[in-house]
Amino acid sequence: MLAVTLLAAQGLVVPTTTPSRARARARMSAEPGTVPDYRALTDAEWRERLGEKEYQVLRKEGTEPAWTSPLNDVKESGVFTCAACDSPLFRTSEKFESGSGWPSFWAPTADEALELKTDYKLLLPRTEVLCAACGGHLGHRFSDGPMPTGQRYCMNGVALRFSSETDDPEEAKRAAASFATSALARRPPLAAVLPELVLGSLLVLGELIGLLARGPAAGAGWAAAALPWLPPGGLAGAVLGAFGTTVVTRNVGLLLASQEDDE
């Protein structure tokens, strides 16, 4: 083991373990003035750079088991970076306990830190969250987070690394400066709010029209034609209507709160 260590120090042996955060930064700064094109890396190169669990999540869009990440318990001030390319993504100050079992945040460090895609793997559309720098899969975004954004960025802990403010004060300062100018830090993204507003409004409107079609207007020709396209009525319809009302109320509240923050 000592011999291997000495040879590695002389550059004669290439370490086969996953590069540490410090070595990742060394790679990034190896050519001053250049930005590594992580998206040009091949699958084989990613396999070499990442550990197996990291590779399965970041490159194959896997999901780590809930409640297994030590990052769930992190409360110390600092920055969470991408485990693949070391790009700053989140801060502890925007982290919250969601009860989901995965590290959760209500906003990223910067508007350009993340890339969002629509994911249909579970049939219903979800918003997939990717690292904008390397395209690595991080997790998903849901609209059930706290104010002021109302969003929950539910991340796989294995896709992130944590650097405390004590260990890296400069990175913490850069992340704070980016966050201060981030629109996503002050308001909910319209791409998340508007679809939910439309869906919730349709559920409420459908239930109201259904009540009318089954009640006072039951004999009208339009009522019979409309009923097959309306919510089922009864208990199921009441539940759908209540859900739609909750969705509309929440998202209207988020929009109003964001307007107040701008004033």
157: Cβ–Cβ under 8 A, 6 or more apart, which residues?
Answer: 64, 68, 69, 70, 71, 72, 102, 103
Same domain, 215 and 99: no
pLDDT score for 262: 54
| pLDDT of 257 | 66
Please name which of 174, 72, 95, 81 lies closest in space to residue 134, comparing C-alpha atoms.
81
pLDDT per residue as tens digits for the range 140-172 = 999 889 988 889 999 999 999 999 999 999 999
Task: Say whether both 80 and 142 belong to one domain.
Answer: yes
* 71 and 127, same domain (yes or no): yes
Global model pTM greater than 0.75: no
Residues 63 and 52: their CA atoms lie apart, in Å, by: 13
If asked whether residues 114 and 161 sit together in one domain, one would say yes
Dihedral sign of CA atoms 160, 18, 28, 162 in order: positive
**Does a structural domain hold residue 26?**
no
Q: Say if residue 172 is in the same domain as residue 89.
A: yes
By annotation, the residues acting in catalysis are 154
Same domain? For 174 and 242 the reply is no
Tokens representing 228? Answer: 């097959």
Neighbours of 158 (CB within 10 A): 22
User: Last residue of some domain: 125, 155, 183?
Assistant: 183
Give per-residue pLDDT as tens, 29-67: 445 445 678 999 999 999 999 999 999 999 999 999 999
Shared domain for 118 and 164, answered yes or no, is yes
In terms of residue numbers, what domain contains 237? 191-262
